[in-house]
Amino acid sequence: MDSQKDFNENNDARNVEEEEKKIKENSDNSKYNDEINVQLEHPVWLLGQYYPNGMEKANQLESSFFLDHNSRIWITYRYSFEPILPSNYTSDLGWGCMLRSGQMLLANALIYHFLGRDWRINIREKYETYKKLIGWFMDFPEKPFSIHKIATLGQKYDKAIGEWFGPNIISQVLKNAVEEFSECNNIISICVSVDQSIYKDEILKVTNNWKKALVLLLPIRLGIKNLNPLYYDDLKKYFQFPQCIGIGGGKPKSSLYLIGNDGIV
């Protein structure tokens, strides 16, 4: 046990150092400034919302796009949280990217359901509800959608704590997490597509004949090593759906949470 603990602690320290190095290397954004300035006025789709003037103004306080963007939930790597028992992991650096992508996808879906798509961070109405929703994702073992809960549920699918999740596993784990949390399960259901197929009977079953809201997850591979260009246009169109809650994915051990695109009307 001591050797395993030493290994985990050394691994955590090494991951923290590597992450800090990456942050330092990427901290100089000057080489991107010209490109960003050019793109400010491109039309943008952000989770079903259209911004014809794109990011409009560099001043985020005056931009409706940035207000919307900054109202979305961002959850990322952390360290020094309580150990994810029965392991000794106190950080998800290096392995938690898909777990965090899944958290963000679910968190924003819950924001839409409980607060509405037009809710913004500067609206005081329902702010207490917003804080409660955020609390469900805090990195404590007792929280229903914490990194502890998600990593632990992964063991049902032969994923050890500290092991990277694929799209199908995170979809199933999110479904399980919602089902185990009565405050959500009574009003929200998750349906995970099987073999890239969606069955109406299954949707009616999980939603109790549409008496509950639906989060529909479609784990799918869109290329062998890289994203197949054949899917580019369809993926862009997905961000125009009013029901869009984003895309979690990327490549093994490198997940992103995608919420929109620019340059398409």
Instruction: Output 205 or 40, whichever has higher pLDDT.
Output: 205
Judge whether residue 103 has pLDDT over 50: yes
Which whole-number Å values give the CA distances from 102 to 97, 144, 247, in the listed order? 9, 13, 9
pLDDT at position 76 is 92
Contacts of 222 by beta carbon, 8 Å cutoff, 6+ apart: 228, 231, 235
pLDDT at position 23 is 39
Q: Mean pLDDT, to the nearest integer, of 119-129?
A: 91
Q: Are 78 and 15 in contact (CB under 8 A)?
A: no
pLDDT at position 65 is 87
pLDDT at position 38 is 41
Give residue limits of the domains in the chain.
59-260
pLDDT at position 262 is 82
Per residue in 49-92, pLDDT tens?
998 877 666 565 668 888 999 999 999 999 999 999 999 999 99
pLDDT at position 253 is 76
pLDDT at position 58 is 56
DSSP calls for the chain: -HHHHHHHHHHHHHHHHHHHHHHHHT---GGGHHHHHHHTTS-EEETTEEETTTT--S-GGG-HHHHHHHTS------BS----TTS---B-TTT-HHHHHHHHHHHHHHHHHHH-TT--TT--TTHHHHHHHHHTTSSSTTSTTSHHHHHHHGGGGT--TTPPPPHHHHHHHHHHHHHH-HHHHTTEEEEE-BTTB--HHHHHHHTTTTTSEEEEE------SSS--GGGHHHHHHHTT-TT---EEEEETTEEEEE-EEES--
What is the band of 224 on the pLDDT scale with cuts at 50, 70, 90?
confident
The most confident of the ranges 10-24, 55-69, 120-134, 216-230 is 120-134
Q: What is the C-alpha separation between 46 and 148, in angstroms, rounded?
A: 30
What is the band of 18 on the pLDDT scale with cuts at 50, 70, 90?
low
Q: What is the C-alpha separation between 23 and 75, in angstroms, rounded?
A: 16
Contacts of 69 by beta carbon, 8 Å cutoff, 6+ apart: 46, 259
Total length of the chain: 265
Instruction: Output 29 or 136, whichever has higher pLDDT.
Output: 136
Per residue in 186-200, pLDDT tens?
999 999 998 888 999
Judge whether residue 32 has pLDDT over 50: no
Mode of pairing for the β-strands spanning 44-46 and 49-51: antiparallel
* Longest Cα separation, the chain: 58
pLDDT at position 177 is 97
The residues pairing with 45 across neighbouring beta strands, listed in sequence order, are: 50, 261
Judge whether residue 19 has pLDDT over 70: no
Long-range CB contact pairs, 129-136, < 8 A, 24+: 133/107, 134/73, 134/107, 136/110, 136/181
Cα 212 → chain centroid: 22
19-49: burial string, b at 16+ Cβ within 10 Å, e else: beeeeeeeeeeeeeeeeeeeebeeebbbbbb
Judge whether residue 36 has pLDDT over 70: no
